[in-house]
C-alpha cells in the first residue's frame, strides 16, 4: 500500500481542497455520462443518416445531373445501398471543403 502523508493546513486551505475534490467528483460524473452516451451511438452508416441524391443536390444547391457527374468523376463519395445511391453528411461536407478556395 502507498504511504499516506498528512499536511497540516489552515481552515481556508482545507475548504479550498474540499471544493476541488467536489469539483473533480462532478467532472468524473460528467465524463462517465459522456462515455455512456458515446457507447450507445449507432453505426455512422445508419440509413437515417444518409441522404438521397435529391436531398444532397438541394443541400449543395446543384442539380441531380451535376451530382451524378460528380459521382462518376469521383469528386464526391457515396454509398450504394442495394440499388440506391446515398450520401453521408461526411461525404457532403468533404465535398464542400474540397470546393473551398
In 1-101 the beta strands, taken as DSSP E runs, fall at: 50-51, 79-81, 84-88
Q: pLDDT for 55-93, tens place per residue?
A: 999 999 999 999 999 999 999 999 998 999 999 988 898
Q: pLDDT for 16-38, tens place per residue?
A: 888 898 898 888 888 888 887 77
CB of 76 closer than 8 Å to CB of 87:
yes
Residue 31 grid cell = 465524463
**Is residue 9 over pLDDT 80?**
no
Amino acid at each position: 500500500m502507498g504511504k499516506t502523508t498528512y499536511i497540516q493546513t489552515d481552515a481556508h486551505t482545507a475548504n479550498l481542497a474540499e471544493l476541488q475534490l467536489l469539483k473533480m467528483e462532478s467532472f468524473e460524473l460528467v465524463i462517465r455520462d459522456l462515455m455512456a452516451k458515446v457507447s450507445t451511438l449507432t453505426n455512422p452508416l445508419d440509413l437515417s443518416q444518409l441522404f438521397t441524391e435529391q436531398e444532397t443536390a438541394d443541400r449543395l444547391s446543384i442539380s441531380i445531373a451535376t451530382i451524378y457527374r460528380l459521382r462518376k468523376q469521383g469528386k464526391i463519395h457515396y454509398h450504394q445501398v442495394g440499388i440506391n445511391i446515398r450520401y453521408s453528411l461526411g461525404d457532403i461536407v468533404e465535398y464542400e471543403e474540397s470546393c473551398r478556395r
